[in-house]
Structure 1
Amino acid sequence: MKIKFEKANIEDAEELIEVRNLSFYSDYRKYGECPGYNISKERMTDTLLNTKIKIYKIFCDDKVVGNISVRHINDNTCYIGCLCVIPSYENKGIGQEAIRFVEKEFSNATVWTLETPADKVKNHYFYKKLGYSIVDEYMSGLVKIVLFEKKLLCK
């Protein structure tokens, strides 16, 4: 299994929407809402044009199976806005490789943050395994969200 990453561009908007819809459909069904599900092409294009956000396609054996997005908050802080892998490719180490990739790609960042639903225990286990800790929780619409953070040693 060969995993690689490639920066997404405007031409990738529909493919990114398709991957996110496959990845987040179960969350949409469960919660009745999901910010990663059913994004319009216009919104995805706007996100791809935002210079503070970088989106990478995740390939497994030359097939796009997910994506990860990173937003610069400031010089030393980055926020992972989306990490998704389509269900048939989950539990193969792809998500771990994606986190390692962005942490290396944005090597000046010493603080990383991300959010996930409070009841997604599988996600919590995954992020904790990679060194993230829960630092806050709050309601976002109808969904209770936890904020994860990872602090790296100064570089």
Structure 2
Amino acid sequence: MAQITLLQARLDDAEQLTSMMKKTFDEEALHWLGTVDSHIVDYNIQPPGYDSVYTTRYMIEELTYYKIMLEEQLVGGVILTITGKRFGRIDRIFIDPAYQGQGVGSEVIRLVEKAYPSVTTWDLETSPRQKGNLHFYEKMGFERTFETEDEVCYIKRIRNGMAVSENAFESCNLEDATFYQANLANSAFSNSTLAGAHFSNINLRGAKFQNINFRSTLLADLNLSGSRVKHVDMSGVEFKDTTIEDAPVSFERCELMGTRFTNCKMVDVEINACDISGMKIDGVSVEELLEVYRMEIKKKV
């Protein structure tokens, strides 16, 4: 078999990787759902943003993204999230349909495990509709931990003989625990429940939050200077004294230079190539204003 290697993806690989990912997952949808545009929503068969170059760029920048190379040929990609030293997650793996069934996927799993010898627990999920995936992951040593009609979760534990850190907590019940004046610098939380947790007077400088459910969360009195918010669904979010689809977002008493809204300072803000249907400024239709403006321009020509 030709040599398979993993190379770190770069931003200039985004378009090629996106095209290959779309081709792969669309082929899966066609096979398991009967059509690419099925009414069945299965995010394991067609993951969010799988056809978006911007999502690929985000993943290259913020996650661990490898190109799968067969000799000099790009044949797929694998995206990982490494939490601490002992826990890893295979977020996505895709292989060009033309190269499937040739042992590429099995070798990629082995190469990933070899690249992170300290990781003793790997997890992932797939669709129960993808019967081939179920067989593949179980052949590679993954065990089912949770299953619904929409998703099958897997975990693989590796016994490598390495010493386990005394600060590693796994499968622990820390409900109602209190940490006061605790040093948790560089700690990692993965596959954990923090529902109802209360964080106060905390230094989270340089922290990373990814794949988190923050529904109905209160974020108040925060310094987020220099922070980045990427690929976040903020439908119905409200910002006061301090961006969005479906439910409306409210902005009040904010200094948002370079943006726009109510009682806000918006010097030099621009709106370009946007759908402004129904948009109003002080009750006046922006569409009507633009129409009047265009008519005046025509008169001058």
TM bucket normalised to smaller: 0.7 to 0.9
Residue 22 of structure 2 corresponds to residue 21 of structure 1: yes
Residue of structure 2 equivalent to 1:12 = 13
Which one of 67, 72, 77 corresponds to residue 67 of structure 1?
A: 77
Q: CA deviation at 1:38?
A: 4.0
Residue 68 of structure 2 corresponds to residue 58 of structure 1: yes
Alpha-carbon distance in 2 for matches of 1:106, 1:137: 27
Residue 155 of structure 2 corresponds to residue 145 of structure 1: no
Say how many residue pairs are matched: 149
Residue of structure 2 equivalent to 1:89 = 99
Paired residue type of 1:107: P
| The structure with more strand, counted as a fraction of residues | 1
The structure with more radius of gyration? 2
Paired residue type of 2:58: D
Alpha-carbon distance in 1 for matches of 2:134, 2:10: 30
Residue of structure 1 equivalent to 2:213 = none
Residue of structure 2 equivalent to 1:129 = 139
What fraction of aligned residue pairs are identical, expressed as a percent? 26
Q: CA deviation at 1:32?
A: 5.0
Which moved further from structure 2: 21-30 or 113-122? 21-30
Query: Which runs of at least 4 in structure 1 moved beyond 6 Å after TM superposition?
Result: none
Distance 1:37 1:23, change over 3 A: farther
Asked whether the equivalents of residues 59 and 66 of structure 1 are also in contact (C-alpha less than 8 Å), the reply is: yes
Stretches of structure 2 lacking an aligned partner (at least 5 in a row): 34-39, 163-301
Asked whether the equivalents of residues 54 and 69 of structure 1 are also in contact (C-alpha less than 8 Å), the reply is: yes
Alpha-carbon distance in 2 for matches of 1:39, 1:19: 9
Stretches of structure 1 lacking an aligned partner (at least 5 in a row): none
Distance 1:23 1:88, change over 3 A: same
Q: SS where residue 147 of structure 1 aligns?
A: strand
Q: State the TM-score, normalized to the length of structure 2.
A: 0.47
Paired residue type of 1:17: T
Alpha-carbon distance in 1 for matches of 2:75, 2:156: 25
Q: State the TM-score, normalized to the length of structure 1.
A: 0.88
Alpha-carbon distance in 2 for matches of 1:128, 1:73: 23
Alpha-carbon distance in 2 for matches of 1:24, 1:32: 13
Distance 1:36 1:57, change over 3 A: farther
| The structure with more helix, counted as a fraction of residues | 1
Q: CA deviation at 1:26?
A: 2.5
